[in-house]
Amino acid sequence: MRSDEPTGRDIPVDDDLSVGAPTSYAAGVPAVARALRISVDQMGPTRATRTLLRVNQPDGFDCPGCAWPDPAQTRRAEFCENGAKAVAEEATTRRVTPELFARHSIDDLHESTDHWLGSQGRLTTPMYKAAGADHYEPVSWDRALDVLATHLRGLDDPDEAVFYTSGRTSNEAAFVYQLFARAFGTNNLPDCSNMCHESSGSALIETIGVGKGTVSIEDLEQAELIVIAGQNPATNHPRMLSTLATAKERGAVVVAINPLPEVGLKAFRDPQTVRGVVGGGVPIADDFLQVRLGGDQALFQAVGHLLLQRPDVLDRDFVERHTSGFDAYVQARATVDWPLTERATGLSRSQIERLADRFAASGATVVCWAMGLTQHRHSVPTIREIVNLLLLQGNIGRPGAGVCPVRGHSNVQGDRTMGIYEKPAEPFLAALDAEFGITAPRAHGYDVVESIRAFRDRRARVFVGMGGNFVRATPDSAVTEEALRQADLTVQISTKLNGSHAVTGREALILPTLGRTERDEQLTGSQRVTVEDSMSMVHASQGRLRPASADLLSEVAIVCELARRVLPDVAIDWAAMRADYRTIRAHVARVVPGFESYESRIDRPGGFRLPSGARDTRTFATSTQRARFTVNPLHVIDCPPGHLILQTVRSHDQYNTTIYGLDDHYRGVHQGRRVVFVSPEDLTELGYADGDHVDLVSVWPSPDGGTQERRAPRFRVVSYATARGCAAAYFPETNVLVPLDATAETSNTPTSKSVVIRLEPATADRAPVR
Ligand SMILES: Nc1nc2c(c(=O)[nH]1)N[C@H]1C(S)=C(S)[C@@H](COP(=O)(O)OP(=O)(O)OC[C@H]3O[C@@H](n4cnc5c(=O)[nH]c(N)nc54)[C@H](O)[C@@H]3O)O[C@H]1N2
Ligand SMILES: Nc1nc2c(c(=O)[nH]1)N[C@H]1C(S)=C(S)[C@@H](COP(=O)(O)OP(=O)(O)OC[C@H]3O[C@@H](n4cnc5c(=O)[nH]c(N)nc54)[C@H](O)[C@@H]3O)O[C@H]1N2
Ligand SMILES: [Mo]
């Protein structure tokens, strides 16, 4: 390593951390200014302007930020501050070249912050780490793909390979990727969804027969009541605030349910309207229920009880014609244990009654939610209770009403539709077999948590990551790192450098790929791809920028070239699919219901909406062929005295494990990330004060009957108006605290929003890198 070169290790961590007051409104002109500053910094002024004007336009590319849909009338600038950051992160002119890998050993990279790794720029060349080597070296594509193919062909069993996907992958790439995995012989297709909305999918499939939301933007705009539980839209889905502002103007009531008083739920200034620029902004939430972490199930049960006391507000006709299980639900909700409900929710009975009144008064209700509801032990029952509430008033399958799980990654929903799933349904596999003349495996594969266990126990030997940052995004960082290091080969198909590149198996590959903003040239010319948003709209996306390097392959090309090498005897024309993505879409149209006339329907600006029985015709593909009321035992998170329940959240300056910057503007945190938010009352009770430095220690029952402890050192305490008994800190720094076995029932999602911790005086006098 050259001595004049600063490394990620040398960057001081949190020396400049400062904490001020949270802001009082979201977005507005300061947000646009921040977006432009970041874009210009990464791309220069010309490229920044040209690129940002193509985000979410009919002839442009889909924003890689979040999965919030585009309104029917696309405005000239349909992006937000955080979308602009996501674009800048990808379209940056900075480059990672082989010299960087020559200068920095893998250990060096491992000791660098995620922020530093990401800010090195776009990956440009395939890189290989040989067994025993401590550096990556450049390698040709031919050799790289041969290394991977040789490993895969050498496995004793196809189930020793794991094929992970993150939700930025296009429909086309996802389809060929899962096809390859299944033709190879495994359903080991874990994805980021396993850590994200799996609980929503599990609950919705069972109860309404489709694992997706049932509303469109128009429904939100027409709703009379919108409930937003467990979501921080100002940071994570900023364009949703424009929709909410429109709904408010039409008279909708908005209720926010959250342990944190998130700023965007208070007031929003739309930077794209005159009023947003000069005015005080639109207040969003009419009511804010400061629920305790994990208290939503108790809340929704109590509201269900209260609604049942008022037969006049029920939709009898809907209940009789379209649902099952009503009588059992009525019986289960006949009484409510108010002291227990108040303890579980941290809310007063009158607050809960007011919410029930709002449901009763509404003729059309939408419930939106995100990670605050999906990452608890009892997430699936909690979401089932939302369905119960909506069914009572017939709020599914009619305008202005429905369920709205707000998705994260821009194409995470599409990837699942394309078959990225470890537990595929039989009709999908049968259609795949018929189309390609293969016999796809029927045994379920590993999800994310099971994959980590499989590597830990040497049941899995080859890891392939189609995007994402598996090692940093997953729980129990120390255990996960150790597990992945056991692999024979780890392969990351990536646009940017991240922590997963620094935790390798015996051998490792980095395969650099095109991003969504870039031109994708194949034999038949420039290709477009498609994505599906949170509201089931499928539309085209076409990048126009010159690729970050001449040596990048598209995700589709990588999979097809690999498949040709691994499966020479399988009669699938991979080359034709690579050469012309229309060929892939023609296959999809025959395999996946709802994609008929795929090619012509994506010519239409805005694309097309996938059909949904629940939404369109009130037909419910459940075990009873009706929408199902369910009875769910109440779960209250058990938190011993002197302990807090910790939720792990995103700051305003990150995209999952990608750290754009060190500010959490809306919450008043600047130039640092190792903070823990605790209420002033709890701090006093626990004997700490704002500004103290503490270690976070999580406690978890160990198999031998004792307790296991995990420690995340040195966090600055921030006195903050969160719910009593609850704390918040950022991930991925806190993933080390989440035990691998702490997962949600049914969905197996890590419980990243309910980690039982205690605070201890900091043991180190300097913050660690992670
Ligand atoms: N800029 C940006 N955009 C993103 C992302 C990003 O990292 N950065 N990530 C994308 C992805 S993959 C996803 S999944 C989404 C995530 O979007 P969010 O779900 O909004 O993300 P989190 O930061 O995890 O915030 C969880 C919210 O739920 C609240 N909450 C936590 N626990 C509970 C609870 O028990 N009950 C209730 N009622 N509320 C609770 C928290 O206080 C917080 O407001 O955003 C997507 N968009
Ligand atoms: N403690 C805790 N853990 C969590 C969560 C939490 O709330 N708390 N949230 C969970 C959630 S909701 C999610 S979705 C997961 C996210 O898990 P992942 O999706 O695995 O993680 P990301 O940080 O989104 O992945 C970022 C990397 O993706 C790569 N990338 C970006 N764009 C592209 C592309 O177009 N193609 C390819 N091939 N690669 C690309 C880049 O190399 C970048 O470094 O994390 C989960 N982990
Ligand atoms: Mo997510």
Expressed in angstroms and rounded, the spacing between residue 680 Cα and the centre of ligand 2 is 33
pLDDT of residue 278: 45
Instruction: Clarify whether residues 155 and 247 are in a common domain.
Output: no
* pLDDT cut 70: percent of the chain above it: 95
Measured distance CA(24)–CA(5) in Å, rounded = 41
pLDDT in tens, 25-43: 777 667 777 777 888 888 8
Which DSSP state fits 94?
-
User: 130 φ, ψ to 5°?
Assistant: -80, 160
Task: Assess whether pLDDT exceeds 90 at residue 328.
Answer: yes
Q: What is the CATH number of the domain that holds 429?
A: 3.40.50.740
Q: Whose CA is nearest to atom 41 of ligand 2?
A: 496
* pLDDT cut 90: percent of the chain above it: 83
pLDDT in tens, 271-285: 655 444 444 567 789
User: Which of 558, 576, 605 is where one domain is finished?
Assistant: 605
Please give the mean pLDDT across all residues of the chain: 93
Kindly give the number of the ligand 2 atom that is closest to the alpha carbon of 493.
38
Name the residue range of residue 554's domain. 122-196+411-605
Q: Is 259 in the pocket of ligand 1 (CB under 6 A)?
A: yes
* pLDDT band, residue 262 (cuts 50/70/90): very high
Q: What is the CATH number of the domain that holds 750?
A: 2.40.40.20
Residues by chain with Cβ below 5 Å of ion ligand 3: 196, 408
Instruction: Clarify whether residues 483 and 578 are in a common domain.
Output: yes
Q: Among all ligands shown, which has an atom nearest to the Cα of 192? A: 2
User: Which of 558, 584, 605 is where one domain is finished?
Assistant: 605
Domain-embedded: residue 12:
no
Of 147-151, 247-251, 438-442, 547-551, the least confident: 247-251
Average pLDDT over residues 121-140: 98
User: Which among 578, 613, 467, 588 has a CA at the least distance from the CA of 538?
Assistant: 588
Question: Bigger pLDDT: 690 or 283?
Answer: 690
Task: Assess whether pLDDT exceeds 50 at residue 413.
Answer: yes
Expressed in angstroms and rounded, the spacing between residue 339 Cα and the centre of ligand 2 is 40
Instruction: Clarify whether residues 206 and 181 are in a common domain.
Output: no
Q: Is 515 in the pocket of ligand 2 (CB under 6 A)?
A: yes
Measured distance CA(650)–CA(652) in Å, rounded = 7
Domain-embedded: residue 20:
no
Three-class HEC string of 249-315: HCCCEEEEECCCCCHHHCEEECCCCHHHHHCCCEECCCEEECCCCCCHHHHHHHHHHHHHCCHHHCC
Compute the C-alpha angle 285/291/294, nearest 5°: 130
Instruction: Clarify whether residues 171 and 202 are in a common domain.
Output: no
Instruction: Clarify whether residues 265 and 190 are in a common domain.
Output: no
pLDDT in tens, 60-106: 888 888 888 877 665 555 667 888 888 889 999 999 999 999 999 99
User: Which among 205, 703, 708, 191 has a CA at the least distance from the CA of 450?
Assistant: 191
Q: Whose CA is nearest to atom 27 of ligand 2?
A: 468
pLDDT of residue 55: 81
pLDDT in tens, 595-639: 999 999 999 988 999 999 999 999 999 999 999 999 999 999 989
pLDDT in tens, 443-467: 999 999 999 999 999 999 999 999 9
Q: Is 462 in the pocket of ligand 1 (CB under 6 A)?
A: no
User: Residue 158 to residues 180, 182, 188, 452: CA-CA distances in angstroms?
Assistant: 11, 9, 9, 17
Instruction: Clarify whether residues 331 and 382 are in a common domain.
Output: yes
* pLDDT band, residue 542 (cuts 50/70/90): very high
Task: Assess whether pLDDT exceeds 90 at residue 697.
Answer: yes
Q: Whose CA is nearest to atom 37 of ligand 2?
A: 467
Average pLDDT over residues 130-146: 98
User: Which among 448, 537, 562 has a CA at the least distance from the CA of 198?
Assistant: 448
Overall residue count recorded for the chain in this entry: 770
Domain-embedded: residue 618:
no
Structure tokens at 55: 């985000």
pLDDT of residue 80: 78
Instruction: Clarify whether residues 377 and 424 are in a common domain.
Output: no
Task: Assess whether pLDDT exceeds 80 at residue 338.
Answer: yes
Kindly give the number of the ligand 1 atom that is closest to the alpha carbon of 728.
42
User: Which among 633, 712, 630, 719 has a CA at the least distance from the CA of 674?
Assistant: 712
Q: Write down the residue that tokens 């049941």 correspond to.
A: 459
* pLDDT band, residue 768 (cuts 50/70/90): confident
Q: Whose CA is nearest to atom 35 of ligand 2?
A: 515
Task: Assess whether pLDDT exceeds 90 at residue 476.
Answer: yes
Domain-embedded: residue 711:
yes
CA-based radius of gyration for the chain: 25
Domain-embedded: residue 399:
yes
Measured distance CA(509)–CA(126) in Å, rounded = 7
pLDDT of residue 266: 72
User: Which of 405, 423, 452 is where one domain is finished?
Assistant: 405
Q: Is 492 in the pocket of ligand 2 (CB under 6 A)?
A: no
Expressed in angstroms and rounded, the spacing between residue 575 Cα and the centre of ligand 1 is 40
Q: Which residues on neighbouring strands pair with residue 730, listed in sequence order?
A: 649
Q: What is the dihedral of CA 175, 178, 181, 186, to 10 degrees?
A: -150
Instruction: Clarify whether residues 348 and 278 are in a common domain.
Output: yes
pLDDT in tens, 628-669: 999 999 999 989 999 999 999 999 999 999 999 999 999 999
pLDDT of residue 552: 98
Of 7-21, 377-391, 617-631, the least confident: 7-21
pLDDT of residue 11: 61
Task: Assess whether pLDDT exceeds 90 at residue 51.
Answer: no
Measured distance CA(734)–CA(712) in Å, rounded = 6
Question: Bigger pLDDT: 49 or 245?
Answer: 245
User: Residue 660 to residues 42, 497, 729: CA-CA distances in angstroms?
Assistant: 11, 13, 17
pLDDT of residue 322: 98
Measured distance CA(610)–CA(212) in Å, rounded = 11
Q: Please give the tally of structural domains in the chain.
A: 3
Expressed in angstroms and rounded, the spacing between residue 694 Cα and the centre of ligand 3 is 28
Task: Assess whether pLDDT exceeds 60 at residue 252.
Answer: yes
Task: Assess whether pLDDT exceeds 70 at residue 155.
Answer: yes
**Spatial contact of 257 and 228, defined as CB atoms under 8 Å apart:** yes
**Spatial contact of 231 and 406, defined as CB atoms under 8 Å apart:** yes
Instruction: Clarify whether residues 212 and 170 are in a common domain.
Output: no
Task: Assess whether pLDDT exceeds 60 at residue 711.
Answer: yes
Domain-embedded: residue 64:
no
Expressed in angstroms and rounded, the spacing between residue 232 Cα and the centre of ligand 1 is 5
Average pLDDT over residues 184-203: 98
Task: Assess whether pLDDT exceeds 90 at residue 263.
Answer: no
Kindly give the number of the ligand 1 atom that is closest to the alpha carbon of 192.
12
Q: Among all ligands shown, which has an atom nearest to the Cα of 491? A: 2
Q: Is 552 in the pocket of ligand 2 (CB under 6 A)?
A: no
Q: What is the CATH number of the domain that holds 255?
A: 3.40.228.10
Expressed in angstroms and rounded, the spacing between residue 595 Cα and the centre of ligand 2 is 27
Domain-embedded: residue 112:
no
Measured distance CA(391)–CA(87) in Å, rounded = 40
Task: Assess whether pLDDT exceeds 50 at residue 4.
Answer: no
Q: Is 271 in the pocket of ligand 2 (CB under 6 A)?
A: no
430-439, long-range: CB < 8 A, 24+ apart: 431/590, 431/591, 431/592, 432/179, 432/182, 432/591, 435/587, 435/590, 435/591, 436/179, 436/183, 436/572, 436/587, 437/571, 438/182, 438/183, 438/570, 438/572
Domain-embedded: residue 489:
yes
Q: Is 656 in the pocket of ligand 2 (CB under 6 A)?
A: yes
Instruction: Clarify whether residues 438 and 468 are in a common domain.
Output: yes
Instruction: Clarify whether residues 400 and 436 are in a common domain.
Output: no
pLDDT in tens, 673-683: 999 999 999 99
Instruction: Clarify whether residues 435 and 324 are in a common domain.
Output: no
